[in-house]
Structures are given as structure tokens and as C-alpha cells.
Amino acid sequence: MRMELGKRADYAIRAAVDLARHVHEGERRKARAIAEDMAIPVSYVPQILAELVRAGIAVSVAGPGGGYALAREPAEVNLLEVIEAIDGELVSTSCVLRSGPCRWDDMCAVHVPWARAQYAMLDTLAQTDLAELVANDRALEAGTFEVPEGLQRPARAVAEDR
């Protein structure tokens, strides 16, 4: 099973982390600066930021002193909100075995464990806020980030990357 973010959600998370990194500096961020600092194609940034503004995650101010800022404190914005602002609701509506619509009255043998797994992922994303991501990002930059015990990649996945 592959669980990957699409490009737009990836860029939205990067943009939100950038805004969270600068929230206490009192500055508004220009789209071009976000693109450069977070390695996002410049053409995507205005679209992504507009969707974050619509979702109430970011605010924008027009004019020479304008730009974008986080609408709330980083600890008050969770990862699930950012992803769903771009991709919509993350709960799958297709049956994992039958590829058709997933209905509770006509479910497959995998329905309940699959639903449990989805809700566990959603819960984890909802519990992860931008303050945590900023702390992780800064630790990665400093070379001090340590992968939590039990979350290291399995040896077979590392071998497959080679």
C-alpha cells in the first residue's frame, strides 16, 4: 500500500511551515520568498496560499507591505487541516477490495480494519500541529533530529531504495 501526499498537499505543508516559522517575527511573507525558501515552484505558491486563506489557515494583505501570514498560532493549526484545505476530506469512499463505492450495508471483509487504519492516520494528522513541524524542521536543519524509537524505516524498505 502506498500512502503519499500529492504535489499540491506537499507544497501546502511546506508553505504552512514557512508561515509558522515566521509567525513571531511579525512579518508578512511574500509568495516569492516562500517559494525560494521552501523549494516550491513559484507558479504554485499563489494558488496554494489562496486555498490556505480560504480555509482560514493563512491571511493575506495586499499592497507593498503586504503578504501572507499564519491566521493562528502554529500550535493551533494541525496537519490534517492543511492537507484537507488542498485535497478535501481524506476518508476513502471506495471499497479497498471491490474498487466500487464503500457502503456500510454492503461491506467487504477488510472494511473494519481498513476504517480503523484510516481513522488512526486521520487522528495522528489532527494531533500533529505546525509548531511540531517547525521544531522538526529546525532540528533537521541543525542535524539534531532523531527519528523516534519504533518509527525507523524497515530494513527491506531501505534496501528497495537502493
Full domain range(s) for residue 34: 7-90+129-161
> Does residue 31 lie within any of the structural domains?
yes
Contacting residues for 94 by C-beta, under 8 A, at least 6 apart: 100, 101, 102
The domain total for the chain is: 1
pLDDT at 149: 86
> Does residue 114 lie within any of the structural domains?
no
Q: Which of 55-59, 74-78, 107-111 has the lowest mean pLDDT?
A: 107-111
> Does residue 106 lie within any of the structural domains?
no
Q: Is the pLDDT of residue 98 over 70?
A: no
pLDDT at 162: 56
> Does residue 110 lie within any of the structural domains?
no
> Does residue 118 lie within any of the structural domains?
no
> Does residue 115 lie within any of the structural domains?
no
Enter the DSSP assignment of 78.
B
Question: What CATH code is carried by the domain that includes residue 60?
Answer: 1.10.10.10
pLDDT at 127: 98
> Does residue 119 lie within any of the structural domains?
no
Backbone Cα Rg of the chain: 18
pLDDT category, 92, cuts 50, 70, 90?
confident
> Cβ distance 28 to 56 under 8 Å?
no
* Structure confidence by residue, pLDDT tens digits, 106-160: 777 788 888 898 899 999 999 999 999 999 999 999 999 998 888 877 766 555 6
> Does residue 47 lie within any of the structural domains?
yes
User: How far apart are alpha carbons 102 and 93 in whole angstroms?
Assistant: 5
